[in-house]
Structure 1
């Protein structure tokens, strides 16, 4: 045993022995010979660079010399100059890097090694995969190092790790070009599906008929921004939609609330559905008929396909993971986020909050396309609205979107909520009453017309309704049977009626979220 060890040591020190990576350690994933082949092929054939330009970047190359050579090639491509052995050599000379890469001799040697660019795309993809493997090793090593540091906050580290992995995964998200025929087939299927629906809508119904008429429902893969100043009713609007979609049309809906807890959201839903004032919902001081009303109408919400998540300071990376599971496991058809400015992109460095919000809005649009469902994100408006006079002056504009112009650019649709009554404006220019009226202003519509839609707003119940909705409810007949008005004003707390078994989100601490 000892003799074998000595022999192996002598062999290791002999001039003819080259240790392998497996004997003394591990080499990072690399394909240096393929890098040489790709660089040589690019300089050998005219159109070779266009084949690999969307696959490779300078940092994809393992050897530093090759990084500098490919950078020179990119510089030439940007200037739309020919790419060959001589132009690359001259560009390296201009960059002051010719001697660093081994001079003109090394460039000549690269072109001499290859005969054609026949397999350049295949080789380029191998180089890109090796680069991604090295990036994963780098990220995992950095995370491991920080995890061993006892001063590191684990929650912060998890956020940072998600951000770093997200950046790596985004580099590998590429869709191949497709011929138009299968796309036409899919478009025809969607048109036929819309034609077969009695309401004739192609998207997710909101329950607001005038709005659905303009939008044809919220469309798949769209990012919709709904913005307003505080107290305009953003949350009330999406909760009214949630009730319509989930209860009336049985459409699975997921809502991510960064501002309110799950219990607060459900309380708002109870106000909306049961038409009981919020103060009474909070303090429990309900009259006997209101307990009956709560019991009767609560049945609408039980077993409704509504999924709530109240994770505070939700990151766009967490949202992406949860959204994928929701679509896969619960067939969720639409995501609601309340609200965009409370999200973050932890684990990534930005020069300003505007840049971070821009990254979040781009990620939401990318997620909507990936999952092929509409995503609605609420957004705040800046204070410039308050400084303008008159009803027209108070109407929001696209320039009022807060923190980032990228929100306007990334969104397929931007809607504003405007309630003139809030600004003590009770009549329009024609003398029509604006009391209880809310305007949904469609300011941007990438795939359709812009328009204004009027809804009714019941402030005491935080409820949006169609303007022509009749006050029809089975419970009204039930209430009419109660003739003794004095019983409505009883001071003693009534006995609780027998409620049906509550759904998971009404029991416990409000943390029973299906993720």
Structure 2
């Protein structure tokens, strides 16, 4: 063991001197290579201190709009009193002569980034080990810190910049052509609701979809109906974060909506005849075989959501993610106001949707705004606690059921209005769906089931 520790202590961190020298040499050759190198790399990506000094000198000259050549680099290094430290004129001349073309700059830069990432991971792993040994923190808290640190390492190495329209047009046309060849109006995850699918074209990868309503309107039911349809009838892989209901209740709701057995009957045993039990068993088999994954931990933060969703996509695949509901998410760090916390959560969900390239449905509460209006119909401005939700979301679906307020006096009992109040990539519009309360199920207005 002592031998192993001694060997570890003298290990040389990962680095590639040749790649570092080649990058600096290319940056001294042409102005475009200087700009691209500064875009891709940071000073601390270089392992050798002499290379860090040279890179910093290039960066400062570039920022001052001074011509970059051997003479100006030498002058800048002398001003910083590091000229002799890097090896003087002889070393700079050697660097300058490494490459005769800047053509392979990006390839060499990626090698430098790769080694820098490994060094950063080693440093991060060492700090995690120290945290495990040296603190009295709860193990779950240490794991959360570790995941955040590892994530920060990977994010810090992502330096995406501008892309030419020339490079974007071709894959965009290819995507449009593929959609046209499918001969279908639905190109994303279908919801099972005809009019909603017509307006949206299905939920697209990278979209942040908000399903919002006042309590007891059926927002969770709508999200679960969509999840059920996607998993059972399209074989889409669906992840559900349930911060309010436990996993058994969620499964019961799916069983109820698909088998015509009320949740009340399931929970209390009333009216459970042979036919209902057979329907329930038959549908239970379908749900058991469907790729549905549920996490019902009520104390999830956005860091938890992010790390678990990534893991799920890596291990099982992921086509649709649901968060029920976003106001119950715990903040990663305490902010001055709840509005700031919700704004941060909203933005994080949008970023996660783009990163995972899957649509994310976030169930959201509405403020008491509708209660103060005579018609009680919700509006975008009623999104609770933050206008950032409205800004970040690609789609906002608002649910309203007249019978909730008017009971027997309702003109349209059993009808729910689904308002596509925001659609970043298409039209807005309202549609009617039938709501079957005992089965927590929405149906197309022609009485066809969401299935």
TM-score (norm 2): 0.78
Counterpart residue number, 1:232: 217
Structure 2 CA distance for aligned equivalents of residues 408 and 89 of structure 1: 54
Alpha-carbon offset, residue 261 of structure 1 = 1.6
Work out whether residues 20 and 51 of structure 2, in 8 Å CA contact, stay in contact via their aligned partners in 1. yes
Structure 1 CA distance for aligned equivalents of residues 330 and 447 of structure 2: 39
Alpha-carbon offset, residue 266 of structure 1 = 1.5
Q: 1:234 to 1:78 in 2, by over 3 A?
A: farther
Q: Equivalent of 2:399, from 402, 417, 421? A: 417
Counterpart residue number, 2:258: 273
Alpha-carbon offset, residue 454 of structure 1 = 1.9
Q: 1:238 to 1:24 in 2, by over 3 A?
A: closer
Counterpart residue number, 1:457: 435
Answering whether residue 187 of structure 2 is matched by residue 190 of structure 1, we say no
Other structure's SS at 1:438 match? strand
Q: 1:377 to 1:89 in 2, by over 3 A?
A: farther
Cα distance per residue 1:322-381 (max 9 Å; x no partner): 133222xxxx543323233444686x8989635641553144223442xxx433232334
Work out whether residues 384 and 400 of structure 1, in 8 Å CA contact, stay in contact via their aligned partners in 2. no
Structure 2 CA distance for aligned equivalents of residues 336 and 33 of structure 1: 47
Which runs of structure 2 are paired with 1:272-311 in the superposition (5 Å)? 272-284=257-269, 286-289=270-273, 292-304=275-287, 305-311=290-296
RMSD: 4.1
Counterpart residue number, 2:383: 400
Structure 2 CA distance for aligned equivalents of residues 190 and 465 of structure 1: 27
Structure 2 unmatched ranges of 5 or more: 1-5
Cα distance per residue 1:129-157 (max 9 Å; x no partner): 22101110011101111222362322222
Q: Equivalent of 1:337, from 320, 323, 331? A: 323
Counterpart residue number, 1:322: 312
Other structure's SS at 1:201 match? coil
Cα distance per residue 1:291-316 (max 9 Å; x no partner): 63243244134133141312412431
Structure 2 CA distance for aligned equivalents of residues 74 and 449 of structure 1: 47
Structure 1 unmatched ranges of 5 or more: 1-20, 474-515
Cα distance per residue 1:435-480 (max 9 Å; x no partner): 333222222222211112221223333221222216999xxxxxxx
Work out whether residues 34 and 123 of structure 1, in 8 Å CA contact, stay in contact via their aligned partners in 2. yes
Q: 1:83 to 1:322 in 2, by over 3 A?
A: farther
Other structure's SS at 1:299 match? helix
Other structure's SS at 1:391 match? coil
Structure 2 CA distance for aligned equivalents of residues 336 and 157 of structure 1: 26
Other structure's SS at 1:415 match? strand
Q: 1:66 to 1:399 in 2, by over 3 A?
A: farther
Cα distance per residue 1:214-238 (max 9 Å; x no partner): 1122224433222333333221111
Counterpart residue number, 1:136: 121
Counterpart residue number, 1:99: 80
Work out whether residues 276 and 461 of structure 1, in 8 Å CA contact, stay in contact via their aligned partners in 2. yes
Q: 1:127 to 1:221 in 2, by over 3 A?
A: same
Q: 1:341 to 1:108 in 2, by over 3 A?
A: farther
Structure 1 CA distance for aligned equivalents of residues 8 and 272 of structure 2: 81
Counterpart residue number, 1:210: 195
Structure 2 CA distance for aligned equivalents of residues 410 and 154 of structure 1: 34
